[in-house]
Amino acid sequence: MTRPSIADQSVSGSPPRHDLHHAFWPKRLPLSITPPQTSLWHNLAVSALRFPDKPALVFFDQALSYAAVLQQAERLAATLHRLGVRKGDRVLLNLQNCPQWVVAHFAILRVDAVVVPVNPMNRAEELKHYITDPDVKVAITAADLAPELAKASGELPPAARLAHLIVTHYSDAFEGTAPAAADDGAMPQAWRDWLGTRHELPALQGGSVLAWADALAASDMSHLPDHTATPQDLAVLPYTSGTTGLPKGCMHTHASLMHNAVASGLWGNSTSENVVLSVIPMFHITGMVSVMHASIYGGATLVIMPRWDRELAGRLISTWRVTHWTNIPTMVIDLLASPNFASFDLSSLVYIGGGGAAMPQAVAQRLWEQYGLRFAEGYGLTETAAPSHSNPPDATKQQCLGIPFMSTDARVIDPLTLQEMPQGEQGEIIMSGPQNFSGYWKQPGATAAAFIEIDGKQFFRSGDLGHVDEEGYFFITDRLKRMINASGFKVWPAEVEALMFRHPAIQEACIISTRDAYRGESVKAVVVLREKFRGQVSEQEIIDWCKDHMAAYKYPRVVQFVDALPKSGSGKVMWRALQEAEGGQP
C-alpha cells in the first residue's frame, strides 16, 4: 500500500525517535486514553443495565442475555461468599471456553476476589502449583477436568488442599434444556454428543464438591456484601513460565486490564453491535482481555467456541454473522483448508487479527483479495495484558508486531548495557504503559529483574529481541529467553525438563524446539537414560508418559536418546548447541 512520506526520518545508526509511527496512527483515535476509574465488574453491570435483553453469550444454538449473565454471576458470587471467599482471596478457574467461564470470572470479581485462570490441559502434577502458590481454597472447574484437580489437591499436605470445588457440565450452559435436536447449521453432531456426556462428580479429600446448578440456586442475596474493589486492587493472577523454575503469577489490577479492554475495542472499530468469535482460550491473556473483557465492556455479543474446530468455526461465523475474529494464524490457515470452505459465508467479517505466530504472506494476501480483510498482527505478553503492540487495521505490515499500542511507549535496548539502540539495529524490546503488570506474585527478586527505569518511566523487559524500522514498526528477530512457540502456546523448556526428571528412567533431559509444518515449532526432548533403563525403555514410552503428565501443547512430540548432553566447563547443559544441531529456532 502507499504510505505517507515522513520528513526527517531516522536512518539506520541514528539516534532513535519514538514518534515515527504517529504518521500511521488511526486518525480517529487519540494516542492515549483515560480508562474508566471503576472495577471490571462494573463493565458487566453497566452493559446489563443498558442491554438487558441483548445476547451477551452465544454457545452453539443457545443465547444468554446480559441480564441473565449478571443474575447468574451475582448468584454464584453469593455462593462464593457463603463458602468463605473474601476480598483478595484467590479462586482457581479451570474450564474450557464456555458461558460458565464468563459467569464464574465475574462472580469472583463481584466478591472482590482474584481470578486464577488455569489452562484446562494441565494435569494433576502441574495443577498442584496453581493450588499451592496462590494459596487457593476454592476452585471452579468442569466435570471432565474435576478428577485431575481433585487428585492434585488430594496429593498435597492437608493444610494446602482445596476446601471447596464447584463443578459444572458444559451442558449446564443450556439452563436445564438440552441443545436443540435439529441441526441448525451451528452444531455438528460430534459436539452435540460431547455436550450430552455426563461425568460423575469426584470426591474432594478433606473438602466439599458443589454442582453448578446448586451453586446458582442461591436465593438469599441479602448476605452478599457490596462490591468495593478499586482500580488499584488485584483482579487476575494469570501464570506464566520462564527460563527457570515453576510458573510465576502475574499480578494484574482492575486498572491494567481495564486499559487494554477499552483500548482493544477502540482499536478494532468496535461498537455494541459487534459479534465476536471467542475461540482464543479465555484463560489466555488475549482471550480474556482483548476478546472477553473488551466485548463485555462494549456490550457486544460473544460467540463462544470451547476449542478450535474449523468446521464449527465456519458454521458459527456464517450462522451468527460474526464481525470480529481475534485468532492464532494457524486457525485461519486451517479454516481456509477445509474441504467445506466454499459453503461458509465469511462476508460478515470486518476485522480479523491476532498473534502468537506470524501470518504467512500468501494467506494474508488471500484474505485481502477474497474478503478485503487486512490481517492485523499484534504482540504482547501475559505481563503486558497483551497487546503492547498492534498493527493499525488500515496500515498493516505483514509478519510485523505493529506499532506501540495506545498509551504505550516501547523501545529497543542493548540487553547488556541497557542503552537504547539506533533505529534498525537489534536489541531487547521493552515497553512502558498502564497495561503492565504490578509484579510477580511472591517473587520480589524476579519482579525487580523484570523492570528498568528510563527517562523516569518504568519499562518491562520482554526478553524478545527485535528492531524498529524507518516507519516506527517493530519486528521480532530472536529470543533472549529460551522459549518454544507451538501454535501460539508458549512452552518453557525449564518447566518441561523439571516434569520429565520425575520419570524414574530419565537421568538428564534437555528440551529444544523442532520444526513442525503445521504448529511452526514443536517440543523435542534430548534424553540421557539411567544406566539400568537403557535398552529397556523406548522413545515412544517416554512420549506417552509425558502425554499423561503434561498439558497437550507442552509434552515432547519427539524424543531422542543420547549417551550424554553437551556441557560447559561449569557443568551447565549447552542447550544452544543442541538447538543449532537441530537447525536453530524457526
Nearest-angstrom CA–CA distance, 399 and 378: 10
Number of neighbouring beta carbons within 10 Å of residue 454: 15
Residue 64: predicted pLDDT: 96
Residue 537: predicted pLDDT: 94
What does the block give as the cell for 261?
479492554
Q: Any bridge partners for residue 532, and if so which?
A: none
Residue 10: predicted pLDDT: 45
Does position 192 have pLDDT exceeding 50, yes or no? yes
What does the block give as the cell for 293?
473483557
| 243-257 mean pLDDT | 90
Cis peptide before 387 (omega within 30 of 0): yes
Does position 14 have pLDDT exceeding 70, yes or no? no
- Model confidence band, residue 174 (pLDDT cutoffs 50, 70, 90): confident
Residue 327: predicted pLDDT: 93
**Residue bearing the bigger pLDDT, 463 or 358:** 463
Lowest-pLDDT choice from 87-101, 209-223, 257-271, 533-547: 209-223
Torsion angle defined by CA atoms of residues 436, 439, 440 and 441, in that order, rounded to the nearest 10 degrees: -120
Nearest to 205 by CA among 151, 166, 129: 151
Does position 141 have pLDDT exceeding 90, yes or no? yes
- Model confidence band, residue 580 (pLDDT cutoffs 50, 70, 90): confident
- Model confidence band, residue 102 (pLDDT cutoffs 50, 70, 90): very high
Nearest to 236 by CA among 265, 212, 211, 260: 260
Lowest-pLDDT choice from 346-350, 381-385, 481-485, 528-532: 481-485
Residue 586: predicted pLDDT: 44
**Residue bearing the bigger pLDDT, 225 or 493:** 225
Does position 74 have pLDDT exceeding 70, yes or no? yes
pTM metric for this prediction? 0.86
Does position 237 have pLDDT exceeding 50, yes or no? yes
What does the block give as the cell for 194?
460431547
Residue 308: predicted pLDDT: 92
For each of the domains in the chain, give its residue range(s) and CATH number, in order of start: 40-354 (3.40.50.12780), 371-479 (2.30.38.10), 484-582 (3.30.300.30)
Helices (runs of H) and strands (runs of E) counted in the chain: 17, 28
Does position 494 have pLDDT exceeding 50, yes or no? yes
Q: What is the pLDDT of residues 304-357, one digit of tens each?
A: 999 999 999 999 999 999 999 999 888 898 899 899 999 999 999 999 999 877
Residue ranges in 436-574 assigned as alpha helix (H): 444-450, 493-500, 539-549
Q: What is the pLDDT of residues 398-408, one digit of tens each?
A: 889 999 999 99
pLDDT over 90, % of the chain: 73
